[in-house]
Amino acid sequence: MLAPPARALFTALIDYAGLYPPVTRDMQAAVSEYDKERSGSSGWMLGRFIIAASRIEELLQEINAYQRRTERALAPFALSVIVDAVDGSQPWLTGMKTSLDRLVAPLQTETIALQVLEVPLPRLASQRDTYDATIGQFVALASTLGMRSLPTYVELPRDERWHSGLPDAMTVLARYRCGAKVRCGGVSADAFPSPEELAAFIVAATNAKVPFKATAGLHHPLRGLDPAGTGFMMHGFLNVLVAALVARDGADAITVEAAIGEEDANAFRIDNETIAWRDQHFDIASIEAMRSDGFVAYGSCSISEPVEDLTAIGMLSAQG
């Protein structure tokens, strides 16, 4: 039987990112896999289908083709849409408008349900500029197009101002009622934030009561060397979940960083009432609260891999 704390911790945790590296499936394969996985035994762990706004029409066409091939009607795909500024020659806000305009008509279709927006911000032009104006411009634009009610997660550019600017940026996001998005890895070593940086992000988001999503690099539950042989130290999604619980419990950044850096599977324990890390225990109510308005989801190109890894370390039953 699945322990109730595990159910609370992992329900709808994984947003499907099969269109993105490292697997980069084509649309046909991604639609087929998402449909298969959400109806499988581990479908309770699967959340939304992540897609760029510039590929919405392609998705709609493939869903219709898939329904014809399988001769059955699909339940709507729940989408987390990355609002991509598709034309680099345009100003950022103009690109955002072009991207959002692509979503206006599909809002009411029978095959997709637009649920979340993900917004990558551009680098600020000068040291005098702030994120306040940029985020405010996007919020105003989304409001004019009737999308302001959609949960919106803003990804700050990870530049030389990222770490020191986190507290102020989270204050701005909280004022505009937006969430944050953090990138935990990529195709090069410098794409991986350090445990200290990731801890600073989680603490700043928690202190400002800003929910957050994560993307890239969280392929396994625990921090460790990439088994694919890249040589990268990869963050673990279980580490991030527990770090969010620890931060919510009032721990300092050093303790949060220790949770992020934990590599010993035996340091994490689960029973019918709590999940524990070292000597800290978190009950189901704490877990549900954190998942509701703290660490809400992360993007992964696989669901089978996280399930297999969690089962191997005893966090899930063999039946899922």
| Residues facing 81 on adjacent strands | 51, 117
Please give the pLDDT value at position 231. Answer: 86
Q: Residue range 157-185: average pLDDT?
A: 94
Q: Which domains occur in the chain, in start order?
A: 4-312 (3.20.20.70)
* pLDDT band at residue 319 using 50, 70 and 90 as cut-offs: very low
User: What mean pLDDT is predicted for residues 192-214?
Assistant: 97
User: In this structure, what is the dihedral angle of CA atoms 243, 248, 250, 253, given to the nearest 10 degrees?
Assistant: 40
- pLDDT score of 59 more than 60: yes
pTM of the model: 0.95
pLDDT value at 272 more than 70? yes
Average pLDDT, the chain: 93
Angle CA(73)–CA(76)–CA(82) in degrees, nearest 5? 140
To the nearest whole percent, how much of the chain has pLDDT over 70? 97
More confident call, 148 vs 229: 148
- Give percent of the chain above pLDDT 90: 79
Q: Quick check: 89 pLDDT over 70? A: no
196 pLDDT above the threshold of 50: yes
- Tell me what pLDDT residue 320 has: 42
Range scoring the smallest mean pLDDT among 48-57, 103-112, 167-176: 103-112
Which pLDDT value is given to residue 88? Answer: 56
What pLDDT shows up at residue 188?
87
What confidence score (pLDDT) does residue 173 get? 97
pLDDT attached to residue 121? 92
CA distance 85 to 120: 9
Q: In the structure, what pLDDT confidence band is assigned to residue 127 with cuts at 50, 70 and 90?
A: confident
**String of DSSP letters for 222-256:** S-EE-TTSS--EE-BHHHHHHHHHHHHTT--HHHH
Least confident of 4-13, 160-169, 208-217: 160-169
- Per-residue pLDDT, 123: 84
Residue 205 pLDDT > 70, yes or no? yes
Residue that wins the pLDDT comparison between 94 and 109: 94
Q: What's the pLDDT at 226?
A: 85
What's residue 83's pLDDT? 95
Q: How far apart are CA 59 and CA 77, in angstroms?
A: 10
Question: What's the gap between Cα 202 and its chain centre?
Answer: 13
